[in-house]
Structure 1
Amino acid sequence: MATQTSPARPQLKPAIELARANPVRFPNESAEYREARTALLAEEIELRRHLERVAQQRRELPPGGVVPQDYLFEGREGPVRLSGLFGGHGTLITYNWMFGPKRERPCPMCTSLLSAYDGEMPDILQRVAFAVIATSPIARMTAFAAERGWRYLPLYSSAGNTFNRDYAGETPDSGDNPAFNVFRRESDGTIRHFWAGEMGAGASDPGQDPRGAPDPMPIWNLLDMTPEGRGTDWYPKLAY
């Protein structure tokens, strides 16, 4: 039996060579600034390449586990099974929103993330299915969505099933956990788990918040471009 191999990757020019060929210059910049910026550009090119390699490695994962059941959720329009969340797509992304019934208000960090995704959702849904899942009743979820001004996020309550326990590691004592999961529906209808964000607190480096790579929160990526960076003592709030 022939062994399947990944396609050969093209030979790439050295990142520093590409960086030095960059023609961009700005008014009154010093030679010292340009030298440092060119070195940084080379690192940025290498980072982009590494992200591409990681994405390729993710796509080449062996088949994940078959989901243990066709979970029943409650959506805006009524009950829907996990299989129904795919719509016409073969891939489903789920995000576990930290808005369980024990919370008076939802997690501000989750809410900041989802607010950004709401604006992107019409584009995202052209490629894949997406579901925001929480254990609160659907009426409570939709009421907050209206308060926040969300228009496009597909919201589903998992109050009556074990999805959060199975795919977000939640227990009655742990409360609610944030979690990204990706599922794939095969041609015969079998649904398998494809990937999950597993970079939790145990994988964080000293002095850093636990987060994925690339960071899923647009706000942090934007702040990382600034002199102040993301900081160590500021987080989004539900209101200011």
Structure 2
Amino acid sequence: MASESVTTSAKPPVVDQQTWRAALDELRRREKAATRELDAIAAARRRLPMVELPDYTLIGAEGPIRLVDIFKGRSQLITYHHMWTDGAEWHCGGCTGFTSQFTRLEFLDNYDARFVIVTNGPIEEALAYRDKVGNKMEWYSSSQSSFGADVDAPPGGGFAVNVFLRDGEKVYRTWHTNGRGTEQLSHTFALIDILPYGRQEEWQDSPEGWPKRPTYSGWLDSPDIARFYGKGNA
């Protein structure tokens, strides 16, 4: 998708420094309240119960691998279930773009954790697609198990994020989200949302005259990601 400049004459009102500061301070109170609420939600998340999982076997680059071994000795694991259609040239642009952000995950080592991609597609196709779009994460396939369906990401279904805790040979599911619940894990929307014009999507509450376009139309699609980051462009 080619980049497009904003074509509108609408702009925020111009005021003096004192008026601007007062409006910013009022918004900041709301932002801080939201931050405290997110802290409280995170505290509640840390108190969630968990459910023990069966001994799933997935497929990795080296062949079959037990879910417990995907932790690679760590106690915590995050998985992003990438939407998939067997044999397709391109897969979900949202999933492809979202996961392209995560190029440096070594910081999770200090938190005894990993973050990987799982898809319901065949591992050979998944790894080839990973290389084509220049994805830097480690990929696994659940095509030969019920893992995807059991963690709310069935074949033909949507994307999902799941979190797991390992205790020895046992694996427990601790958290799950999908849809807009994944936005908090992305830096893209956080950056776009602080811009004067925001996401510019038609569903959003914006002032009269602000640029608007169909939802998703500003997102990079899978071919864009491949062009920027894929094989031959690294």
TM-score category, normalised to shorter length? 0.7 to 0.9
- 2:24 corresponds in structure 1 to 37
- Give how far 1:105 is off: 1.3
1:192 paired to 2:182: no
SS at match of 2:188: helix
- 1:138 corresponds in structure 2 to 123
Q: CA RMSD in A?
A: 2.0
- Give how far 1:215 is off: 2.6
- Give how far 1:85 is off: 0.8
5+ residue gaps in structure 1? 1-27, 199-209
Task: Tell me which amino acid in the other structure corresponds to 1:236.
Answer: L
- Give how far 1:102 is off: 5.7
Choose from 229, 232, 236 the match for 2:198. Answer: 229
For residues 216 and 103 of structure 1, the distance between their equivalents in structure 2, rounded to whole angstroms, comes to 27
1:121 paired to 2:88: no
SS at match of 1:111: helix
Is contact 1:164–1:170 with CA below 8 Å preserved after alignment? yes
Q: Provide runs of 4+ in structure 1 moved above 3 Å.
A: none
1:48 paired to 2:35: yes
For residues 30 and 159 of structure 2, the distance between their equivalents in structure 1, rounded to whole angstroms, comes to 31
- 1:180 corresponds in structure 2 to 161
Choose from 194, 219, 236 the match for 2:188. Answer: 219
1:100 paired to 2:80: no
SS at match of 2:51: coil
CA deviation vs aligned residue, 1:59-89 (integer Å, no higher than 9, x gap): 0112x1111x211111112211101011121
- 1:6 corresponds in structure 2 to none
User: For residues 13-32 of structure 1, what are the structure 2 equivalents within 5 Å?
Assistant: 30-32=17-19
Task: Tell me which amino acid in the other structure corresponds to 1:223.
Answer: I
TM-score by length of 1: 0.74
- 2:51 corresponds in structure 1 to 65
1:161 paired to 2:145: yes
5+ residue gaps in structure 2? 1-14, 202-213, 225-234
Is contact 2:68–2:170 with CA below 8 Å preserved after alignment? no
Q: Specify whether residues 147 and 169 from structure 1 end up closer, same or farther in structure 2 by C-alpha distance, changes over 3 A only.
A: closer
Is contact 1:183–1:195 with CA below 8 Å preserved after alignment? yes
Deviation larger for 124-133 or 77-86 = 124-133
Higher relative contact order (CA 8 A, sep 6+): 2
Q: Specify whether residues 125 and 148 from structure 1 end up closer, same or farther in structure 2 by C-alpha distance, changes over 3 A only.
A: farther
Q: Specify whether residues 183 and 47 from structure 1 end up closer, same or farther in structure 2 by C-alpha distance, changes over 3 A only.
A: same
Q: Specify whether residues 102 and 146 from structure 1 end up closer, same or farther in structure 2 by C-alpha distance, changes over 3 A only.
A: closer
For residues 103 and 50 of structure 1, the distance between their equivalents in structure 2, rounded to whole angstroms, comes to 41
- Give how far 1:90 is off: 0.8
Is contact 1:113–1:218 with CA below 8 Å preserved after alignment? no
TM-score by length of 2: 0.76
